[in-house]
Chains A and B, each alone.
Chain A
């Protein structure tokens, strides 16, 4: 069974750093790109970017380029999303998902989401 399990909710202060995780299981982790999606409170889904677990190639959406960093640890089948200096506007639910291969850029399996709250 394909599963993506994300790390737990975080409460941080502005200016702090943060790394959240997404661990895949039940499939060949390096065989499928991982995507990250932001959902701000009460709002819709926003495409942040994707990363290839086989070689860590990344493709960021222009809105998120330079704002976050995606990375991979193949040894533990885990993808990461990192901020160096959080802002209040980073408060959101962050979803990771696997890119399916049957069609371009669709997300076939999703993690449960990680809620990030940034508040002073």
Chain B
């Protein structure tokens, strides 16, 4: 049972928009701690996609965007491409655990 809750899977047709939710609690996202998102293509290392709720590292396309409200956060991907098929993880800091915490991950399928 992960501290942050994500849907196990989402899917969308190429060119469409999908969102992935990440729900936390008052000890992590709700406490004001930032949310970060990672993309992991099977067989490879995770890659930072969004940090600080909505900032994109250099090289990440603006098709990827992040937002946060209350105890939840969301990752939106527009103009879906086949190469976006991967696992996506949210991550934040938890004051009860005094450390980082991940969501369980969401598998994105591009139809």
Which positions in A face B, CB cutoff 8 Å?
35, 37, 44-47, 49-50, 59-62, 95, 97, 100, 102-113
A30 smallest CB distance to B (angstroms): 21
Which positions in B face A, CB cutoff 8 Å?
2, 33-34, 36, 38, 40, 45-48, 51-53, 55, 57, 87, 89, 91-93, 97-105
* In the complex, chain B residues whose CB is within 8 Å of the CB of A106: 34, 36, 48, 51-52, 91
Main SS at interface, chain B: strand
Bound Cα distance A44, B104 (Å): 6
**B50: nearest chain-A partner, CB-CB:** A106
**Of the candidates B33, B47, B97, which one forms a contact with A61 in the assembled complex, judged by CB atoms under 8 Å apart?**
B97
- With A59-B98, A103-B36, A104-B93 already in contact, the answer to whether A45 and B48 are too (CB < 8 A) is no
Bound Cα distance A61, B51 (Å): 21
**Of the candidates A47, A97, A103, A113, which one forms a contact with B34 in the assembled complex, judged by CB atoms under 8 Å apart?**
A103
Bound Cα distance A70, B105 (Å): 26
Bound Cα distance A19, B98 (Å): 25
- Asked whether B105 lies within 8 Å of A104 as measured between CB atoms, the reply is no
- With A44-B105, A106-B52 already in contact, the answer to whether A50 and B89 are too (CB < 8 A) is no
Q: Which 8 A-B pairs have the closest CB atoms?
A: A103-B52, A47-B100, A106-B36, A44-B105, A106-B51, A110-B45, A45-B102, A103-B34
